[in-house]
């Protein structure tokens, strides 16, 4: 984590996971989403966040924001709705699926620029590569899941952006890194069956 971002406590992580689930349940029931501010510390900090939905170990939705434009708890609430109902790769979830869903949250730090592969720590850092109109992002757990080297991680992020592997060597390419606190309901080490197309940035 960066010096400007406090780590979340276990209680705060559980609060966010409950918020995500309660938000999805409220949408399914056509009720207003939860609106009770946590009222303390790190959950009020402006941080980007991704919400990932896994159904029996298989991806069912994942959407998030990299830049923290709103408080972390609001970002989680927004992206719980987006992942459940607005991920264009999947149909909206249904009531019958809810008991089989596992919710995972990635709370992001601010971005910093990377100049060489040696600065990337697999399993700890996520990447964004930008060049002209192209932009791609992969979360830290994806590189760890596949056992990529930093160079392979960079190549796969280029692919995610719709560019050729090795695009990160272009002087015009901007490489940014971030850290993420990743936590989920149940066993935090559950199998993540991601592909390189499994993460959607809004």
pLDDT of residue 195: 33
- Please report whether residue 59 resides in a domain: yes
If 0-12 CB within 10 Å is exposed, 13-18 middle and 19+ buried, where does residue 40 land? exposed
If 0-12 CB within 10 Å is exposed, 13-18 middle and 19+ buried, where does residue 15 land? middle
Claim to verify: residue 161 and residue 193 sit in the same structural domain:
no
Q: Tell me the C-alpha distance between 72 and 165, whole Å.
A: 33
| Positions of the chain with pLDDT under 70 | 1-5, 187-202
Claim to verify: residue 89 and residue 35 sit in the same structural domain:
yes
Helix (H, G, I), strand (E, B) or coil at 21: helix
Claim to verify: residue 74 and residue 146 sit in the same structural domain:
no
Q: What is the tally of structural domains in the chain?
A: 2
Q: What are phi and psi of 88, to 5 degrees?
A: -65, -10
CB 6 within 8 A of CB 42: yes
Q: Write down the H helix ranges in the chain.
A: 10-28, 72-85, 140-146, 150-160
- Please report whether residue 189 resides in a domain: yes
pLDDT of residue 159: 97
CATH number for the domain including 20? 3.30.700.20
CB 52 within 8 A of CB 61: yes
- Please report whether residue 130 resides in a domain: yes
pLDDT of residue 190: 38
Q: Tell me the C-alpha distance between 40 and 44, whole Å.
A: 6
pLDDT of residue 197: 32
Q: Tell me the C-alpha distance between 102 and 49, whole Å.
A: 16
Q: Which domain holds residue 120?
A: 112-179
Claim to verify: residue 44 and residue 128 sit in the same structural domain:
no
Claim to verify: residue 14 and residue 55 sit in the same structural domain:
yes
Q: Which of 91, 84, 100, 148 is nearest to 121 (CA)?
A: 148
Strands 112-113 and 174-184: antiparallel
- Please report whether residue 105 resides in a domain: yes
pLDDT of residue 4: 53
Q: Tell me the C-alpha distance between 47 and 7, whole Å.
A: 12
Claim to verify: residue 105 and residue 44 sit in the same structural domain:
yes
pLDDT of residue 131: 97
Claim to verify: residue 138 and residue 189 sit in the same structural domain:
no
Q: Tell me the C-alpha distance between 183 and 201, whole Å.
A: 19
């Amino acid at each position: 984590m960066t010096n400007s971002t406090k780590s979340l406590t276990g209680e705060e992580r559980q609060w966010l996971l409950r918020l995500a689930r309660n938000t999805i349940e409220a949408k399914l029931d056509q009720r207003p989403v939860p609106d009770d501010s946590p009222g303390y510390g790190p959950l009020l900090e402006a941080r980007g966040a991704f919400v990932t939905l896994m159904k029996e170990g298989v991806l069912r939705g994942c959407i998030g924001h990299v830049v923290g434009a709103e408080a972390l708890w609001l970002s989680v609430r927004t992206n719980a709705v987006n992942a459940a109902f607005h991920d264009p790769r999947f149909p909206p979830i249904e009531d019958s699926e809810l008991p089989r869903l596992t919710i995972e949250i990635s709370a992001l730090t601010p971005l910093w620029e990377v100049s060489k592969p040696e600065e990337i720590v697999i399993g700890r850092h996520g990447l964004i590569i930008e060049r002209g109109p192209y932009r791609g992002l992969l979360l830290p757990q994806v590189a760890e899941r596949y056992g990529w080297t930093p160079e392979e991680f960079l190549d796969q992020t280029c692919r995610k952006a719709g560019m050729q592997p090795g695009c990160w060597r272009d002087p015009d390419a901007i490489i940014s890194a971030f850290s993420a606190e990743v936590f989920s309901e149940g066993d935090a080490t559950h199998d993540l069956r991601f592909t390189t197309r499994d993460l959607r940035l809004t």
